[in-house]
Amino acid sequence: MTQTTESAARDDDRQATPAAPDGRSRLRIHRAWIVAVVTFVTIIGGAAFNSLPGLLIDPLHTEFGWSRGEIGLAVSIDMALYGLTAPFAAALMDRFGIRRVVVVALSAVAAGAFASVWMTASWQLMIYWGLLVGLGTGSMALAFSASVTNRWFVARRGLVTGILTAAGASGQLIFLPLCAWIVEEHGWRPASVTVALAALVVVPFVWLLMRDHPADVGLAPYGGAYAEKPAPARGAAARTVRVLVDAARTGPFWLLAGTFAICGASTNGLIRTHFVPSAHDHGMPITAAASLLAVIGVFDIIGTVFSGWLTDRFDARRLLAVYYALRGISLLFLPMLMAPTVHPPMVFFIVFYGLDWVATVPPTLALCREQYGEDSAIVFGWVLASHQVGAALVAFLGGVARDVFGSYDMVWYTSGALCATAALMALVIRRKAETPEPVVPTGSEAVAPMTAGGSGEVAESSVTR
């Protein structure tokens, strides 16, 4: 579609499309890349809070006398709401727009982090950290980067998806050491304020530079043709629930959800929440433990990319089995590696665990596509929700176990056994039989093969999910 002179000159947002005859657009940065940069920075700002829970368990326990189970419950509420909000986030963005949803989500994260500075009771921690931050971060989960990529890019989608996926790990790499230093030198309250400010600083950039759709600024998506902005979608939330109900009637869904729940339990719920306090129990400084945790964020980018390459070439079920088995073995050795100082075996564990951290995502997503076709994105959203529910349970139960047993050893061993279970579950996911391509006959046979019993009625597919 060719832009008119009037629309091209309306304002700076109305940049020339890549097909502009004078070629000037080739010297400009397409607006899609600006939106991608804003999205990247927003995810980093929203991810700042994920650096805090593991750092604050000991300070909150020391100051208020709250049990680690109580603190873990607040973290578990946050993680559960993060997962349960994610499947509906895309529907909210389709209905109200990306910019509005993200601004409200960042404001909720900032409000929760700011309010926690004045809390005096554990129930307030559950409201501020659990409810507000959980809903805020959940609204900026998978749906945010997916919505931006799908609307603004046709070419380079894989590259942009990889970059935006790396934003969460980048945020961890930036904020974990910083927040650890602030907690150790100045206390937990300045660290909480830092997280709130990180979320608030991003809000003006989102409001001023983010746009919901390329048509809002008279552009085609990067590498694609111009298309009018669709009307606000209605009924998307109902479809999200309907897809869940349909998928829940199939065995592969429960196996995928179960394995991914164990994935969340052994990563976000276990390592991200309890590694730092566990290392601190053995005399390691908080800053050193947090730096090790930040290194995981570097290697999980490498591991995810490599896992995607492997998923294109090998059976996704077997890859999942190998990933979970290796993860379980490493967790069984972790209690023996805890020490006051960082030593080579611990560094090896951190590198290995980082490579395996989110390596499960590409094969899990591939199995969702294989089993559920056009509904696979929504099904994966619900599988992701199970990931966060598993993380929430271990974030809570891990703290309870520390209160009861006086150490985290039982937590590591139990999680190792769960990973072994996940490896077996992955192997029993059945492969979906491929539907053969229809053969279009010629001549007098053209009608009969396409009808049931020659009655002239179209035969229904016998393939069910």
Predicted pLDDT at 452: 37
- CB-based contact 182:198 (threshold 8 Å): no
Evaluate if residue 21 carries a pLDDT over 70: no
What number of H helices and E strands is found in the chain? 19, 0
pLDDT of residue 142: 65
For residue 234, give both structure tokens.
Answer: 């209605």
pLDDT tens readout for residues 352-404: 888 888 788 888 888 887 888 777 777 887 888 888 889 888 888 888 888 88
In percent, the amount of the chain with pLDDT more than 70 equals 83
- What are the CB-based long-range contacts (under 8 Å, 24+) for 222-226? 222/18, 222/30, 222/32, 222/33, 222/152, 222/153, 222/154, 222/155, 222/156, 223/18, 223/153, 223/154, 223/155, 223/156, 224/153, 224/154, 224/155, 225/1, 226/1, 226/3, 226/17
> pLDDT at residue 6 above 50?
no
Q: Could you please report the per-residue DSSP string of 216-231? A: GGT-PPBTS---PPPP
Whose CA is closest to 361, among 186, 169, 207?
Answer: 169
Mean pLDDT computed over every residue of the chain:
79
Question: Residue 436 pLDDT > 80, yes or no?
Answer: no
Q: Is 297 in contact with 272 (CB distance < 8 Å)?
A: no
- Reported as a pLDDT band with limits 50, 70 and 90, residue 425 is very high
Ramachandran category for residue 30: left, alpha or beta (phi over 0 → left; psi -120 to 50 → alpha): beta
- Decide if pLDDT at 2 tops 60: no
Least confident residue range of 158-167, 219-228, 341-350, 385-394: 158-167
Q: What is the mean pLDDT of residues 327-356?
A: 90
Confidence at 294, pLDDT banded by 50, 70, 90: confident
pLDDT single digits (tens) 64-90: 888 888 888 888 888 888 888 877 777
Cα dist. 249→239, 245, 364, 381, 390 in Å? 16, 7, 18, 17, 21
Helix axes 31-47 and 157-186, enclosed angle (nearest 10): 30
Render pLDDT for 119-175 as a digit per residue (tens, 0 to 9): 988 889 889 888 888 888 888 766 677 778 778 887 776 567 667 766 776 777 778
pTM value is: 0.70
CA distances 209 to 97, 202, 393, 426, Å, are 14, 11, 38, 43
As a whole number, mean pLDDT of residues 336-354 equals 89
Average pLDDT over residues 323-343: 91
Give percent above pLDDT 90 in the chain: 13
